[in-house]
């Protein structure tokens, strides 16, 4: 589970480690805030598209080989990011980095689904979310400290080193999909499984709720460094500490989900987490309109961010319960919903003035409201494994 958590942390690690360096990257290339934020959006798009490839391939060839290929390619792409001579080339390489890193994310979920179901799966996904939540806790703090001795290029060098370490560790990952359970029929079988999954209301609504909930978090990830450093005057180290506290909230909420899921069920926890996001998002908008200071801003921001520790694992458990015969494909669709929706919505926060709170607050609140609507549409009986998908 620790190794699976590390593999699933590729996404937040790729985005969070160099967040404190975004203003300095903007200054070096002479690019605007929107162009710099595209280096985050492109890796999110890569993570989404890459899962569409890695997930179905793992249903056909097993889980282990795609992990090893993806992690190795991720390490190489990180080296190329460190050598990028322009912001636009960096955007392109970050897309490749996301494509490679997607394998670890999608296959961590698939391995859990291979081994567990129902409440046990919800607990396992909550544990993955907590381990993955350590990335938002540690990455910005580490990134802030790295900037004391290196620049943003050195940060990508560290990502390359992390990729190499995980490549070695992943050699001990057990194969959880034996040959007799693998999907035959190539692309045609993948299309059939996709149609079957998307045709299920429980799957559709859970994926949409997760994507919108994550969009609120990703908006915070891609914009908060400008708001808190440029708008509110925090130093990179102070910003990383604030980010760490919010990341600790994700971990705490994930642990709370593990404790409560057997009693309340994943749907109730999902709706509760989305409702908390809405409350925090509305608080952010009010804070922006009233020109509130940090003592008001930071607590409501904490609520929105921490609530994702309830949203993500329970939405994942509800969606993956519908994946009896094609866990890799289902995991890929879950990942696409998460990163594609977030990648489409988060850039809207960059349309305002640099450092302004209101655009970030409005996008986070809007995504949270839509996420709650989707969460309420998840059937109350969702979470019990249905009939297996056809071979």
Give the pLDDT band of residue 137 (cuts 50, 70, 90).
low
The mean per-residue pLDDT over the stretch 205-220 comes to 91
Is pLDDT above 90 for 59?
A: no
Q: Tell me the pLDDT tens digit for each residue of 353-364.
A: 777 899 999 999
**pLDDT value of residue 387:** 45
Q: Tell me the pLDDT tens digit for each residue of 86-128.
A: 889 999 999 999 899 888 888 888 888 888 877 788 888 887 8
Question: Is the model more confident about 361 or about 5?
Answer: 361
Please, what are the domains in the chain? 2-174+184-376 (1.20.1250.20)
Give the pLDDT band of residue 268 (cuts 50, 70, 90).
very high
pTM: 0.77
Question: Is the model more confident about 371 or about 191?
Answer: 371
DSSP collapsed to 3 states, the chain? CHHHHHHHCHHHHHHHCCHHHHHHHHHHHCCCHHHHHHHHHHHHHHHHHHHHHHHHHHHHHCCHHHHHHHHHHHHHHHHHHHCCCCHHHHHHHHHHHHHHHHHHHHHHHHHHHHHCCHHHHHHHHHHHHHHHHHHHHHHHHHHHHHCCCCCHHHHHHHHHHHHHHHHHHHHHCCCCCCHHHCCCCHHHHHHHHHHHHHCCHHHHHHHHHHHHHHHHHHHHHHHHHHHHHHHCCCCHHHHHHHHHHHHHHHHHHHHHHHHHHHHHCHHHHHHHHHHHHHHHHHHHHHHHHCCCCHHHHHHHHHHHHHHHHHHHHHHHHHHHCCCCCCHHHHHHHHHHHHHHHHHHHHHHHHHCCCCCHHHHHHHHHHHHHHHHHHHHCCCCCCCCCCCCCCC
**pLDDT value of residue 388:** 46
The mean per-residue pLDDT over the stretch 250-256 comes to 88
Is pLDDT above 80 for 77?
A: yes
């Amino acid at each position: 589970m620790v190794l699976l958590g590390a593999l699933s942390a590729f996404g937040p690690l790729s985005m969070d480690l160099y967040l404190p360096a975004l203003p300095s990257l903007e200054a070096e290339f002479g690019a605007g805030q929107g162009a710099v934020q595209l280096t985050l959006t492109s890796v999110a798009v890569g993570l989404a598209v890459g899962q569409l490839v890695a997930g179905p391939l793992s249903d056909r060839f097993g889980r282990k080989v795609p992990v090893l290929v993806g992690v190795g390619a991720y390490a190489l792409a990180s080296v190329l990011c460190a050598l990028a001579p322009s912001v636009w080339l960096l955007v392109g390489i970050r897309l490749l980095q996301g494509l490679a890193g997607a394998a670890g994310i999608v296959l961590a979920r698939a391995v859990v689904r291979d081994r567990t179901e129902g409440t046990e799966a919800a607990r396992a996904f909550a544990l993955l979310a907590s381990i993955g939540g350590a990335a938002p806790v540690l990455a910005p703090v580490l990134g802030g400290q790295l900037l004391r001795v290196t620049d943003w290029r050195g940060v990508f060098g560290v990502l390359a080193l992390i990729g190499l370490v995980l490549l070695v560790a992943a050699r001990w990952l057990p194969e959880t999909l034996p040959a007799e359970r693998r999907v035959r029929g190539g692309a045609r079988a993948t299309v059939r499984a996709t149609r079957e999954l998307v045709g299920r209301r429980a799957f559709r609504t859970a994926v949409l709720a997760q994507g919108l909930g994550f969009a609120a978090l990703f908006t915070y990830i891609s914009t908060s460094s400008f708001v808190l450093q440029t708008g509110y005057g925090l130093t990179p180290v102070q910003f990383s500490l604030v980010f760490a506290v919010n990341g600790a909230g994700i971990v705490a909420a994930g642990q709370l989900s593990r404790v409560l899921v057997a009693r309340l069920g994943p749907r109730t926890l999902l709706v509760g987490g989305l409702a908390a996001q809405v409350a925090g998002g509305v608080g952010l908008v009010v804070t922006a309109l009233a020109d509130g200071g940090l003592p008001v801003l930071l607590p409501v921001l904490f609520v929105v961010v921490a609530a994702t520790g309830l949203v993500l694992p329970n939405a994942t458990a509800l969606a993956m319960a519908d994946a009896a015969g094609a866990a890799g494909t289902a995991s890929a669709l879950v990942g696409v919903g998460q990163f594609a929706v977030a990648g489409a919505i988060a850039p809207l926060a960059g349309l305002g003035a640099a450092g302004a709170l209101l655009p970030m607050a409005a996008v986070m609140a809007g995504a949270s409201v839509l996420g709650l609507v989707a969460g309420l549409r998840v059937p109350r009986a969702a979470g019990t494994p249905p009939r297996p998908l056809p071979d």
